[in-house]
Amino acid sequence: MSLITTDIAIIGAGTSGCCIAGELRDTGFDCVLIEKSRGLGGRCSRRYIDANSVDLGAPEFLFNSVENTRLKSLIKSWIHMGYLDPWVYQKSSFNEIGQQETIESLSAVPSMNAWHKKIAGDINTYKNIEINSLVKSDDFWHLMDYSGKQVISAKYLIITCPAEQSLALLRQHNIFSDNRLTDHKSLPQFVCAIGFTQALNIKSDVYRGGHSFLSTAIREHSKPKRVLPSPLQEVWMLHSTHDWAEKNVSENHQQAAQVLTSQFIEHFDIQSEPQILSSHYWRLSRHQINEPVQTPFIWNKEMRIGCCGDWLSSGDITGALTSAVSLYEEITSDYK
């Protein structure tokens, strides 16, 4: 790959990266995304089951928890364009099955990472490239891969990786005195998709809390515009608790899926035989947020480098979007 020069290089093509890239592009900046994996979406990735897919990571976000005015408008535009659909479901906890709560949230269609492709799919994205070091010279940021090869030069640099990876890059330069540049604890998680050829007598679509193994169980096809793989009548996504994942980190994801499936079957007294359709281990599933959020991004105007991500806000998709839009507003305030 020949050397690329751009206005703004954005490391990480997850929710924050795709959001801020789309906003900057629409303002007229030339942007590129650099992603270490093979596609957009980050922790909103999907897994194909036959011709259909299931959400492997984050399943939704709550619109009513959004406070940023620009972000509210942006989300409304995504709904209008058909990128997001309302998802109204019944939620219970594992230990209070008879009590239900109606939740109104948003889910991307036909999968969570399809939304990322729609807002940033036309931006030049360089995949399977992991940036290892940053050099500032000649008024440009020069990004190097693990072989020491320079791959991109940019006037501005935005880092949107998970906390550990972002901090490893930021600490190469003594630029920030921000007290948030300390160690962050990532929360691991196992996740699996299971299917049944018979419909189950389970009343709620989502179960959260109240189980030592299972953090969340989601009836995947209750989400908008999801299609069941034939001949399945039910597909459930099972997410482990973070504590259980930490204690069982030596398990491979297939073994963990068997344990989670057994716990689900036992808890709901299911007689039908399940199929384990997919399994995965998220080493950096989510970041533990210990302190109230002040400014949900990091930015150095003089050096033209910044960072946004869920770990700088509320630790979820809403936090990732809030962080990205807030940093966008900070960067573009100089151009108004």
Q: Are residues 128 and 228 both part of a single domain?
A: no
Same domain, 282 and 180: no
Task: Please compute Rg for the chain using Cα positions.
Answer: 21
d(CA 53, CA 110): 8
- In a 13 Å sphere around the CA of 51, the CA atoms on its Cβ side amount to 3
Do 127 and 237 sit in the same domain of this protein?
A: no
Same domain, yes or no: 136 and 282: no
Three-state helix/strand/coil letters over 147-164? CCCEEEEEEEEEECCCHH
Fill in the DSSP letter of residue 196: E
pLDDT at 206: 97
Residue type, 242: H
Report the domain count for the chain: 2
Does one domain contain both 101 and 180? Answer: no
Residues 272 and 193 in one domain: yes
Q: For the chain, which residues score pLDDT lower than 70?
A: 1-2, 177-183, 289-293, 335-336
Q: Do 193 and 335 reside in the same domain of the chain?
A: no
CA distance linking residue 153 with residue 204, whole number of Å: 51
Q: Among 264, 287, 310, which residue terminates a domain?
A: 287
Q: Residues 198, 242: one domain?
A: yes
The pLDDT value recorded for residue 53 is 83
> Residue 59 burial by CB count (10 A; 0-12/13-18/19+): exposed, middle or buried?
buried
Do 67 and 166 belong to one domain?
A: no
Whichever domain contains 99, its CATH number is 3.90.660.10
Read off the CATH number of the domain in which 6 is found.
3.50.50.60
Q: Specify whether 272 is located in the same domain as 261.
A: yes
CA distance 308 to 299: 9
Task: Evaluate whether 134 touches 144 at the Cβ level (below 8 Å).
Answer: yes
Instruction: Answer yes or no: do 148 and 126 share one domain.
Output: yes
62: left (phi over 0), alpha (psi -120 to 50) or beta: beta
Is 34 within 8 Å of 160 (Cβ atoms)?
no
Convert the pLDDT of each residue in 213-252 to its tens digit. Answer: 999 999 999 999 999 988 999 999 999 999 999 999 989 9
Q: Note the pLDDT of residue 253.
A: 94
Residues 301 and 246 in one domain: no
Token pair of 155 as six digits: 């006037």
User: Which of residues 287, 305, 326 is at a domain's end?
Assistant: 287
- The answer to whether residues 50 and 231 touch, using CB atoms and an 8 Å cutoff, is no
Kind and range of the H or E element at 214?
strand 214-219
Domain that holds residue 166: 1-40+121-184+293-336
Q: What is the pTM of this model?
A: 0.94
Query: Last residue of a domain, which of 287, 302, 324?
Result: 287
Closest CA relative to residue 29, chosen from 123, 138, 143: 123
